[in-house]
Structure 1
Amino acid sequence: MTVTLESGPAGAGSIDDFELFYARRALDRFRRRLGRQGLLDLLAADIEEGNAFLREGARASGGVFKAGTTVLATRGLSSSAFMAWMEKAFAGDEGALLAAHPEHYVMAPGADGAFNVVENIGPHVCSLYMGGWGTEAMAWAVDADELLPESEYPHKMSSNLFLADGTVVGRALTQFGDTADGFSASLTVYVPAACPQDVLEHHLRHYAVEFRNWINAAAAARA
């Protein structure tokens, strides 16, 4: 069955566009009303269950991860401009970071320089921490099969994804390089090898949604 909008609204867009606008507006309202701690309290049982899932996946995998990569092509914005926006957002604009995906619940600095992210990993709500490029724990990134040439992708970020108890439950490697009319983003996520394939698949979709929205936000900030 097909439903087509024939007349009525004066503004441009499809019914899907209208629904997305209202869904984002409603979600933003609930996030603001609840606040960070309210969201954490609301999702406490889900986080406990999700973290237990990842912890068991890491144990069963024995330190082995499987990878997937989402690639985005951007026109009209340089990689350096996007990275500058990202640095500013991660330094303290949690609202901009949360707005990029419906399943972002917390994105804020944690203890010891780590960054706390509460979001879905597949169907599971998890509370993760991210480290930074250049530390000893990141030695894996130097030899990663997914590492692209520095000359083409000079902007790189990598991290381990770990739970509050230190259990490493994933990895991330993001790489950005300019093209003739914009830039290319290579976004790789690593999940425990024992995790179901749909966990990896959904995070590749997650990457596509959040980075497209961050890129759009970066472009809007320059307009």
Structure 2
Amino acid sequence: MTDNHTRPVAVALTSGPTSPGSIDDFELFYARRALGRFRVRLGHQGLLDLLAEDIEEGNAFLRESARVSAGAFRAGTTVLSTRGLTSGEFLAWMDNAFAADESALLAAHPEHYVMAPVPGGSFNVVENIGPHVCSFLMGGWGTDALDWAADAEELLPESDYPHTMSSNLFLTDGTVVGRALTQFGDTADGFTASLTVYLPTACPQDVLEHHLRHYAVEFRNWIVAAAASHP
């Protein structure tokens, strides 16, 4: 008996739509539109209520990973090269988005659920860490003042990457479950982004791998959105 699930099939778009793009491009457009509709209809609290059980399980995973790792982290870095936009233009757009445009932050990745400031100066993020839906806070974002960042092996020369931002990722009980170090430096025709995430060493390697992919998707889309605001 033939296993149809393993049979290679190629489908090509021969005619029909007049707009540019592939079938994958069309599907992505409609998927984003549908997802955006659900986010708006559900709103913050609706999303949190819907994901409450997932968040409880995801945060338990992070808390236990941090406990077993006893403060040790494993780093991974995604590097993006951009042409046609400066790091200053991008970071100005990001500052505005983090301050007042949550919809732009959420739109950058299908697994972004909440991205909003909270009292005390931290920023609440609800997103996937690997397969786990987690709710955590970012503190120190927008500065390079955290002690750990100054000694990080992944810290690049300031002369090449003058725009550095670092953060601890922590749960509401104060448990530090990760770190982030993002560094940006201009090139002749754009800029380079070095995006490092630190997860507890007890986290499986594939969890780190998925977050490196997560970085690639969200920052690519943020960069494209920033460029669209600078015609």
TM-score bracket, shorter-length normalisation = over 0.9
Unaligned residue ranges in structure 2 (runs of 5+):
1-8
Q: Could you tell me which residue of structure 1 aligns to residue 6 of structure 2?
A: none
Does 1:143 find its partner at 2:151?
yes
AA aligned opposite 1:211: F
User: Are residues 1:83 and 2:91 paired?
Assistant: yes
Structure 1 residue aligned with 2:116: 108
SS class of match (2:108):
coil
Q: Which residue of 1 aligns with 2:188?
A: 180
Identity level (%)? 78
Partner of 2:52: 44
Partner Cα distance (1:94, 1:81) in 2: 18
Partner residue in 2 for 1:123: 131
* Deviation (angstroms), 1:71: 0.1
Residue in structure 2 matched with residue 207 of structure 1 by the alignment: 215
Give the one of 206, 210, 225 matched to 1:217: 225
Deviations 1:59-83 (A, max 9, x none): 0000000000000000000000000
- Residue deviations 1:101-160, cap 9 Å, x none? 00000000012100000000000000010011355xx20000000000000000010000
Runs of 4+ in 1 over 6 A off after TM superposition: none
1:8 aligns with: 16
Report the Cα distance in structure 2 between the residues aligned to 1:162 and 1:112, rounded to whole angstroms. 14
Instruction: Name the CA distance, whole Å, in 1 between partners of 2:221 and 2:215.
Output: 10
Q: Distance in 2 between matches of 1:158 and 1:66?
A: 16
Cα displacement (A) at 1:92: 1.3
CA 1:134 to 1:157, structure 2 compared with 1: closer, same or farther past 3 Å?
Answer: closer
Query: Which amino acid in structure 2 is aligned with residue 48 of structure 1?
Result: E
Contact 2:144–2:164 (8 Å) recurs in 1: no
Which structure 1 residue ranges, 5 or more long, are not aligned?
none
Residue aligning to 1:156: 164
Count, aligned residues: 221
- SS of the residue corresponding to residue 188 of structure 1 reads strand
Distance across 2 between alignment mates of 1:134 and 1:82: 18
TM-score scaled to structure 1, two decimals?
0.98
**Is 2:81 the partner of 1:64?**
no
From 81, 86, 96, give the equivalent of 1:73. 81
